[in-house]
Amino acid sequence: MSLWEIIKRLYPYVRPYRPLVLGTLLLTLVGSLAAQVNPFVLRYTVDTVQGLLNANKGLIEGANLLLLVSGLLLGKEIINTFIQFGQKFYGEKIRINVSSTLSQDAVRKILSYQLGFYSDNGNQTGKLQTRIDRGVESLMKLVQNFFIDILPLFANAIVALVVMFSANLYVGLVAVCILPLYFWISYRQADKLNGTRRALRGLREAKSQGLVNLIDSAVVIKSFVREDYEELKQAQAQQNLQEAQLQTRKTNFLFDGLKTFTEQVGVVLIIILTAYLVLDRQISIGAIMFHILLFNNVSAPIRQLHRIYDEMNDALTYSEGFFDILDAKEAVEPTGPLQPTHLHGTFDICNVDFTYPSGTQALHDVCLTIEAGKTTALVGLSGAGKSTIINLLCKFYAPDRGKMLLDGKPLADYDTHTLRQQIGLVLQKNHIFKGTIEENIRYGLMNASFEQVQHAAKQAYLHEQIMQLPKQYESDAQQLSGGQQQRIAIARLFLKNPPIIFLDEPTASLDAIATEQIKNSLDAIKQGRTVIIISHSLAQIVDSDCIYVMKEGRMVESGTHEQLYDQRGTYREIFDASARSLNIEKLARVLVDDEDEVGDTAA
Ligand code: ADP
């Protein structure tokens, strides 16, 4: 993106604040005119004092002059204070408003994108956040530079130059000769720093990322006693950062020194020239001061050139990544016109192929039928493609090829939000938001009353446990155990009350008691709904109405438990392995012995 393109993209964001921008510009223009008052006042003072001295007059006559000069300078400063306040405050107001609109736009866009967008390499959580933060920050500086700073800065310099020229052509020429040199040094400085600053930023990120990792991995580091190793790693990152920081400072000091020197050469030249002109009686003695101050007004804004140049470079670097987020049109979730109020949940899937954006083909020519009101189980080893099927049914992703129908109509034709409002999804690990238990359960139905929330918690066998907590429903939900968090997800499901339910290993990470309770809750909610369940737990599969077996992205078997068991295929293999891993024979013996004992005692 070129600078011009970025400015064009930014303009709509600045547009609503046009009156504010114009007002700020006006203030700064007045400010730049006010800045020229000092040279005039000083010239007048010096010349008048000189006149008084020549006329052998003293303090009494000079007092009037002092009063006038103090009045003028203080009056100008008072006006200047208001101008500066207005300029800074309104400038900041524009920046803050534009930056929040830009950030909010990015948030809205990201929320509208498909899941594939998030798994893209450049969009992972940390990276996306950095891209947005940096993009907004550098664009804000551009707004400040381009819409607020540049014109007044140069207005100030130009007004000062015009005044210099009109006072004396030769002095004006000297000032103009110094400028290109100054520009060139500023340009070289920005150019040299460009690479180092980028490297510096990378190193800073690496260092803070290292620190975050350190905290995340504290338990592993300590248990393996790797403190020294980690410290060394951090020290290395610190060392690299230190070197880059020093290098940047060195370059800055060097160029700043050069610029000050050039400026001073300009001042010296102006002193020599004006002193010569004074001695030659071409101008008054006050003009020496007058020209030096004016030259300062010319060079002061140009001193900021390298900052502006740097920030424009930053904007060029980072805003592209930011606008890419706003423009990722292909990532927008597709939706359709159908908005039925009640879905039955008959899914017909035929010859479906699907490849993740990363390039992994997860489904090959998959066909299956999910009957409404029944429970269908998907079985297969890890990575077989079971969750992928659920991802496609929720329209998180679209298939590469094949037919997907819901209640007889193409899934793609359904309005995505309407579809998802009627699907309840419980995963192996469900996200718990930062907040209270009540807020987390209410996520299932945002306008639910507290009684409804409580009722849902009871159905999910969670209420009793919540009541034992010191702050009950007000407790921090993220502090709950895995099993309790899972129950929150189920309570949400009860509140949402959808006709279609997808369960993706809902009890995989739970203990036996929690598993049993959650199974009871799920059995209660399954009634009369379309359910797809993925589970490694035989208990949850065997009584499904239909079981589909997957292997390496393909559908290999289907039928009831009894049919599949008799087929002696993949299902049987998985079933037998599960039984062995549970040591069913021994468990069965224990149970039989137990029953015998009970029988004996009864007899
Ligand atoms: P299952 O649920 O049967 O364990 P999945 O459907 O999760 O299997 O995964 C099927 C295949 O797709 C695996 O090879 C897995 O690595 C891959 N996969 C799953 N999710 C993603 C993703 N978000 N991006 C890329 N590949 C994925």
Residue 533, domain CATH: 3.40.50.300
What pLDDT score does 100 carry? 92
**Residue of minimum CA distance from atom 27 in ligand 1:** 356
Backbone dihedral angles phi then psi of residue 124, each to the nearest 5 degrees: -65, 155
Among 183-187, 411-415, 588-592, name the one with the lowest average pLDDT. Answer: 588-592
Residue 596: inside a domain: no
What pLDDT score does 88 carry? 84
Distance CA 44, CA 64 (A): 13
Cα of 357 to ligand 1 centre, how many Å? 11
Cα of 382 to ligand 1 centre, how many Å? 9
Pair 398, 322 in one domain: no
Of 55 and 403, the structure prediction assigns the larger pLDDT to 403
Which residues touch 558 (CB under 8 Å, ≥6 apart)?
368, 546, 547, 548, 549, 564
DSSP 100-112: HHHHHHHHHHHHH
Residue 338: inside a domain: no
Query: What is the rounded (10 degree) CA torsion for 313, 317, 322, 327?
Result: 110
Q: Which atom of ligand 1 is the closest one to the Cα of 388? A: 6
Cα of 347 to ligand 1 centre, how many Å? 21
Backbone dihedral angles phi then psi of residue 332, each to the nearest 5 degrees: -65, 135
3-state secondary structure of 549: strand
3 state SS for 226-290: CHHHHHHHHHHHHHHHHHHHHHHHHHHHHHHHHHHHHHHHHHHHHHHHHHHHHHCCCCCCHHHHH
Pair 107, 207 in one domain: yes
Q: Which atom of ligand 1 is the closest one to the Cα of 380? A: 3
Among 105-109, 263-267, 521-525, name the one with the lowest average pLDDT. Answer: 521-525
Probe residue for ligand 1, chosen from 387, 389, 393, 504 as the CB with the greatest number of ligand atoms within 8 Å = 387
Asked whether residue 389 carries a pLDDT value surpassing 90, the answer given is yes
Report the pLDDT averaged over residues 69-96.
Answer: 88
Residue 584: inside a domain: no
Number of domains composing the chain: 2
Cα of 346 to ligand 1 centre, how many Å? 24
Radius of gyration of the chain (CA): 37
Pair 358, 494 in one domain: yes
Per the listing, tokens 């003028």 go with 72
Distance CA 467, CA 470 (A): 8
Which of 307, 331, 355 delimits the end of a domain? Answer: 331
Distance CA 511, CA 489 (A): 16
Residue 276, domain CATH: 1.20.1560.10
What pLDDT score does 16 carry? 92
Residue type present at position 514: A
Pair 293, 255 in one domain: yes
Pair 356, 324 in one domain: no
Asked whether residue 171 carries a pLDDT value surpassing 90, the answer given is no
Cα of 388 to ligand 1 centre, how many Å? 6
**Residue of minimum CA distance from atom 12 in ligand 1:** 362
Query: Averaging pLDDT over each range in 90-94, 298-302, 428-432, 577-581, which range is the top one?
Result: 90-94
Asked whether residue 15 carries a pLDDT value surpassing 60, the answer given is yes
Residue 578: inside a domain: no
Report the pLDDT averaged over residues 336-357.
Answer: 89
User: Average pLDDT of the chain?
Assistant: 84
Pair 362, 294 in one domain: no
Asked whether residue 185 carries a pLDDT value surpassing 70, the answer given is yes
Q: Which atom of ligand 1 is the closest one to the Cα of 119? A: 23
Q: Which atom of ligand 1 is the closest one to the Cα of 382? A: 4
Which of 284, 307, 331 delimits the end of a domain? Answer: 331
What pLDDT score does 600 carry? 62
Query: Averaging pLDDT over each range in 120-124, 300-304, 314-318, 412-416, which range is the top one?
Result: 412-416
What pLDDT score does 25 carry? 82
Q: 510: exposed, middle or buried (C-beta count within 10 Å: 0-12, 13-18, 19+)? A: buried
pLDDT in tens, 130-151: 788 888 988 888 888 877 777 7
Pair 457, 371 in one domain: yes
Using CB distances shorter than 6 Å, the residues near ligand 1 are: 119, 356, 358, 360, 362, 380, 382-388
Distance CA 246, CA 72 (A): 46
Among 2-16, 61-75, 180-194, 244-258, name the one with the lowest average pLDDT. Answer: 180-194
Pair 304, 403 in one domain: no
Pair 107, 163 in one domain: yes
Q: What percent of the chain has pLDDT over 90?
A: 13
Residue 594: inside a domain: no
Asked whether residue 126 carries a pLDDT value surpassing 80, the answer given is no
Pair 297, 384 in one domain: no
Q: Render the burial of 343-370: b for 16+ CB within 10 Å, e for the rest.
A: bbbbbbbeebebbeeeeeebbeebebeb
Query: pTM to 2 decimals?
Result: 0.73
Pair 369, 461 in one domain: yes
Question: Of the candidates 328, 338, 447, which has an alpha carbon nearest to the alpha carbon of residue 395?
Answer: 338
* Overall residue count recorded for the chain in this entry: 603
What pLDDT score does 523 carry? 82
Q: End-to-end CA distance of the chain: give it in Å, rounded.
A: 90
Distance CA 188, CA 194 (A): 10
pLDDT band for 387, please (50, 70, 90 cuts): very high
Cα of 65 to ligand 1 centre, how many Å? 86
Asked whether residue 66 carries a pLDDT value surpassing 60, the answer given is yes
Residue 195: inside a domain: yes
What pLDDT score does 524 carry? 80
What pLDDT score does 101 carry? 93
Give the domain range for residue 523: 347-567
Which of 270, 303, 331 delimits the end of a domain? Answer: 331
Residue 590: inside a domain: no
Asked whether residue 548 carries a pLDDT value surpassing 90, the answer given is yes
The DSSP H or E segment spanning 303 is helix 286-303
Residue type present at position 19: P
Residue 199: inside a domain: yes
Pair 300, 388 in one domain: no
Among 35-44, 149-158, 403-412, 443-452, name the one with the lowest average pLDDT. Answer: 149-158
CB 225 within 8 A of CB 234: no
Cα of 385 to ligand 1 centre, how many Å? 6
What pLDDT score does 355 carry? 92
**Residue of minimum CA distance from atom 8 in ligand 1:** 383
Q: What percent of the chain has pLDDT over 70?
A: 97
